[in-house]
């Protein structure tokens, strides 16, 4: 099958491309990107003038809940949500039931995703068995089965000696370790960021230092081991400073930030909406401003949704009782475009943070429109106005704090390996 996307604004930060051109897909690959291409016989032509043609988006941090918690999400619904959001590759965290800490679970995720997935699924294996923080999981086996990185996400590896060994093992394999940086003692029983907002709501808060003390410790271990290290969902200004400094010193560190930490502050929890309970918590405006700066200057390499579906029952009982997390795959792009419209960062930087940057940090396929690359492509209508309607989300779970928000910009067509995974008029 061949497909010609005609007359769009081709934006491919990997190749420093930003121009009006046609993009021809043949046999699942990008064949040519040039103005004025003729459509080969039998080729479907789609007019995309006024739209942005970019590499398919890549999310280095999602929770797809399969195996074991399919009442929240599964590989089919999670990847459909991904495709609808413009994503062609997602990295799924190992806090499934059972935890993805061995070859059999990694293999089953890869196999199921191939059968039912609407996006490429790259599993992240657990750092420790059961993500219990004590005994290292078998990295070699998980890598052989398709793991692209290791993380105990949802929990922090608190034991520095265990973290050191994990970094050494990952370094031997050339894969990154993604840390959920949160000192469990500083964060004990916390529901929110430690601030006046939390105090007024009667909620236990954790200081931003709960995150940054672990970032600081781990960067020492990166210096010791030389391993590739990735900071998951950065939320604190101090963490941004530490990562910026580490990069200046040449350490192999990358970092991600979520659309919700870029968009909301702790003020949002005052609504009592349990979708605003998330881990790490929404922080103050100073932290949010530092995230903006860090994303714009490249200190924070990637945008990651931390898509964390939960059922209504798990989000009941008020902020203190609700499970932390929110669904993010279908709102990420529009929230990013909102930051571009507000002048926080240029469009090309946003697209880079959602394509070539995560591809580079995790060694993933895609992230480029170079001829010969797999045809992982998103077409974005930058002017499309739409209202976030939980019932209309493809995800099985509807826990979004953005319900009712009117957003501008939407993925209107997604191609994964040349196959249409999402199309709307």
Burial zone of 249 (CB within 10 Å; 0-12 exposed, 13-18 middle, 19+ buried): exposed
Q: What letter does residue 170 receive in the DSSP assignment? A: H
Q: Are 238 and 265 in contact (CB under 8 A)?
A: no
Considering only 56, 324, 336, 409, the residue that binds ligand DOR (CB under 6 A) is 324
Cα 109 from Cα 351, distance rounded (Å):
28
The least CB distance from residue 31 to ligand DOR, in Å, is 40
Q: Tell me, what DSSP letter sits at residue 348?
A: H
The residue among 72 and 169 lying less far from ligand DOR, judged by its C-beta, is: 72
Q: How far is CA 178 from the centre of its chain?
A: 12
- Compose the 244-283 pattern: x for residues touching ligand DOR by CB under 6 A, - for all others: ----------------------------------xx----
Q: Is 219 helix (H, G, I), strand (E, B) or coil?
A: helix
Through-space distance between the first and last CA atoms of the chain, rounded to whole angstroms: 21
Q: Count residues contacting ligand DOR (CB under 6 A)?
A: 11
What's the min distance (Å) between Cβ of 310 and ligand DOR? 6
Site string for ligand DOR, 18-57 (x = CB under 6 A): ----------------------------------------
Which of 153, 218, 376, 381 is close enough to bind ligand DOR by CB under 6 A? 153
> Is residue 109 at the binding interface for ligand DOR, with CB under 6 A as the rule?
no
**Distance in Å, CB of 93 to ligand DOR, minimum:** 7
> What is the bridge-based pairing of β-strands 377-387 and 52-55?
antiparallel
Shortest Å distance, C-beta 252 to ligand DOR: 23
Q: Which residue number, 117 or 401, has a Cβ lying nearer to ligand DOR? A: 401
Give the residue nearest to ligand DOR (CB). 325
Residue 180 in contact with ligand DOR, rule: CB under 6 A: yes
Under DSSP, the state recorded for 257 is: E
Between CA 411 and CA 382 the distance in angstroms is: 8
Asked whether position 154 contacts ligand DOR by CB under 6 A, the answer is: yes
Q: How far is the CB of 64 from ligand DOR (least distance, A)?
A: 10
The answer to whether 261 and 283 have CB atoms below 8 angstroms apart is: yes
Q: Which is nearer to ligand DOR, 4 or 213 (CB)?
A: 213
Identify the active-site residue in 306, 376, 381, 383. Answer: 306
SS3 413: strand
CA distance 158 to 234: 17
- For residue 231, what are its two tokens? 């900071």
Tokens of 349: 């930087």
Active site residue 306: yes
Question: CB of 179: closest distance to ligand DOR in angstroms?
Answer: 11
Q: Distance (Å, rounded) from C-alpha 150 to C-alpha 144?
A: 13
Active site residues: 306
Residues forming the site for ligand DOR (CB under 6 A): 63, 95, 153-154, 180, 278-279, 306, 308, 324-325
């Amino acid at each position: 099958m061949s497909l010609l996307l005609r007359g769009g604004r081709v934006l491919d930060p990997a190749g420093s491309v930003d121009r009006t051109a046609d993009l021809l897909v043949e046999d699942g690959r990008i064949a040519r990107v040039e103005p004025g291409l003729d459509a080969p016989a039998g080729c479907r032509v789609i007019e995309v003038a006024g739209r942005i043609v970019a590499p398919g988006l890549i999310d280095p941090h999602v929770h797809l809940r399969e195996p074991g918690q399919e009442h929240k999400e599964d590989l089919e619904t999670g990847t459909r949500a991904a495709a609808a959001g413009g994503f062609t590759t997602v990295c799924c965290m190992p806090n499934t039931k059972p935890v993805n800490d061995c070859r059999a679970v990694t293999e089953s995720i890869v196999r199921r995703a191939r059968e039912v997935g609407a996006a490429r699924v790259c599993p992240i294996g657990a750092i420790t068995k059961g993500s219990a923080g004590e005994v290292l999981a078998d990295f070699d086996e998980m890598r052989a089965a398709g793991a692209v990185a290791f993380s105990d996400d949802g929990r922090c590896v608190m034991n520095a000696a265990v973290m050191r060994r994990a970094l050494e093992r990952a370094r031997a394999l050339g894969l990154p370790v993604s840390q959920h940086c949160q000192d469990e003692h500083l964060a004990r029983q916390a529901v929110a960021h430690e601030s006046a907002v939390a105090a007024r709501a009667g909620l236990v808060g954790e200081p931003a230092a709960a995150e940054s003390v672990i970032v600081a410790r781990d960067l020492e271990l990166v210096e010791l081991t030389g391993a590739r290290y990735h900071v998951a969902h950065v939320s604190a200004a101090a963490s941004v400073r530490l990562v910026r400094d580490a990069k200046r010193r040449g350490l192999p560190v990358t970092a991600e930030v979520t659309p919700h930490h870029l968009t909301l502050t702790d003020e949002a929890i005052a609504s009592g909406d349990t979708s605003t309970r998330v881990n790490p918590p929404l922080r103050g405006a100073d932290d949010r401003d530092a995230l903006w700066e860090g994303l714009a200057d490249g200190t924070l390499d990637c945008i990651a949704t931390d898509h964390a579906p939960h059922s209504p029952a798990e989000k009941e009982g008020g902020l203190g009782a609700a499970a932390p997390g929110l669904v993010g795959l279908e709102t990420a792009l529009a929230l990013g475009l909102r930051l571009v419209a507000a002048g926080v960062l240029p469009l090309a930087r946003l697209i880079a943070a959602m394509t070539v940057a995560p591809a580079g940090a995790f060694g993933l396929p895609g992230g480029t429109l170079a001829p010969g690359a797999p045809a992982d492509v998103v077409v974005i209508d930058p002017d499309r106005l739409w209202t976030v309607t939980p019932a209309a989300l493809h995800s099985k779970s509807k826990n979004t704090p953005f319900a009712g928000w009117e957003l501008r910009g939407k993925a209107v067509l997604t191609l994964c390996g040349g196959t249409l995974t999402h199309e709307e008029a």
